[in-house]
Amino acid sequence: MEIVVFGSGAWGTALAMLLAYNGHRVSLWSHDGEKAEAVARTRKNPALPGVPLPEDIAVISDPSAAEKAELVVFAPPSNVLRSTVEKAAPHIRPGTVIVSATKGIEAGTELRMSQVIRQITQDAFPVAVLSGPSHAEEVSRHMATGCVSACEDKAVAELVQGVFMNDMFRVYVNQDVVGVELCGAVKNVVALGCGVVDGLALGDNAKALFMTRAMSELAVLCQKAGGLRSTCSGLAGMGDLIVTCLSVHSRNRRAGQLIGRGAPVALALREVGAVVEGYYAAASVKALSEKLGVDLPICRSVYGILYENADVTKAVHELMSRDRRSEFDYRWDSKSKPPAKPEA
């Protein structure tokens, strides 16, 4: 299959390598002509140090390459997805399948990434979402990984599953596009907050509490937006949350650690040296939650730290001092009580 991957960062490059390994004819597009020329010549991408780019991957900066593609993958940072799709869209031919591999919610519109793609392309192409716990550093090194291919159209989801899946990259199909995309966006916010917990040296108990209650918030948001709560317990939800909150590869976690140790937000973002998706997602998630009327205390606290200069220690104290409540929403009646202990 002829495939063009738009976005030559770590994730786009890793996906191009995966697809080439699977036997497809792959072109990797960069918005920067000089970068494309340098990567093509050296077969090295600074975004993935130590991982040589296979010779059979063409590195390009001309979006017209999409005219020959049977499948187009978008994998740029969320804040430039719109401009990237606008460059590519005029060249995508009828019948092409589009895969969104970018995680986030667009600032200002609160649109999910697949919605941005559909809007720009006037819903002329089937769009699937590829998401899950998948650090580019490991995928590029052919390490075991699992993801989901999400699309309302089962045939499209299965087509994408077949294109990407191999002996070390396992893909499951999923119908819940809304839930999968919201999980992919919100987990970056949570991971940044988890990094703050690490930076404050609050311990493993606090980190487990933070992650678990954040997942509860995410489940409520997913359901309110039209997704399924069950998606949050799968690869796109809990799986991606775990890897992003705990991995040394996580830029979001690293930024949060620096902030927790006292670094100003702007300095922490610069120190990471790459796009920290959680920073952008925090503002978009806050706006979306307000639009939907959903209370997300943890995500709101992360937003306060990032955009309102909230004190990190005070933010943690406020979360821990919230009113008492039940862990789950259920009625305290005879039907919901645990069974009586059997007699000896």
How far is residue 197 CA from its own chain's centroid?
21
Q: How far apart are CA 117 and CA 9, in angstroms?
A: 19
Q: How far apart are CA 83 and CA 137, in angstroms?
A: 26
Q: How is residue 232 annotated by DSSP? A: G
Cβ atoms < 10 Å from Cβ of 82: 19
Q: How far apart are CA 149 and CA 164, in angstroms?
A: 9
3-state secondary structure of 171: strand
Taking only Cα atoms into account, the Rg of the chain, rounded to an integer number of angstroms, comes to: 21
3-state secondary structure of 5: strand
Tokens for 99? 């895969």
3-state secondary structure of 297: helix
Catalytic residue among 87, 103, 187, 224: 187
Determine contact, residues 225/178, Cβ cutoff 8 Å: yes
Q: How far apart are CA 219 and CA 12, in angstroms?
A: 28
Residue among 98, 134, 93 at smallest CA distance from 114: 98
The yes-or-no answer on residue 187 being catalytic is yes
Q: Starting from the edge strand earliest in sequence, which strands make up the sheet with 145-150, in order?
A: 58-60, 25-29, 2-6, 71-74, 97-100, 127-131, 145-150, 169-174
3-state secondary structure of 327: coil
Determine contact, residues 111/145, Cβ cutoff 8 Å: no
3-state secondary structure of 214: helix
Enumerate the H helices of 7-112 as residue ranges: 10-21, 33-42, 81-88
Residues identified as active-site: 187
